[in-house]
Amino acid sequence: MENEDPGRIRARSDAPEQESIRVPEDKSDLTPRFKLIFSTMAALTVLALILNVLLAAFGGDSEQVKAAAEACSTTYQMGFGAIVGLIGGRVA
């Protein structure tokens, strides 16, 4: 220790170094970013579901309407999966 450069000596302690990891105090602590992502996914899922129902009810039998209805169906199914994943990731 005597031969070390004084500018390079760090303060040493027996306690382990603390990391700067944010630990939420409460599980219900929802960040604005999470709220934005969750509400966006919920809105897109509901919109795709509504469009799918409207296309099925009033769309007709053309191939374009069937393709759009299939796209809406896939979109709301994936949106529902994303919402479940967001909730599951928040609980864990």
> Which pLDDT tens digits describe the chain residue by residue (92 residues)?
556 665 555 555 555 566 666 655 555 678 999 999 999 999 999 999 999 999 999 988 899 999 999 999 999 999 999 999 999 988 87
**Alpha-carbon gap, residue 92 to 87, rounded angstroms:** 9
pLDDT of residue 60: 86
**Alpha-carbon gap, residue 38 to 51, rounded angstroms:** 20
**Alpha-carbon gap, residue 69 to 50, rounded angstroms:** 10
**Alpha-carbon gap, residue 77 to 49, rounded angstroms:** 9
pLDDT of residue 92: 75
Task: Please identify which residue in the block is written with the tokens 């939420």.
Answer: 24
pLDDT of residue 19: 63
Domain boundaries, the chain: 32-91
pLDDT of residue 23: 59
Per the CB < 8 A criterion, the answer to whether 48 and 75 are in contact is: yes
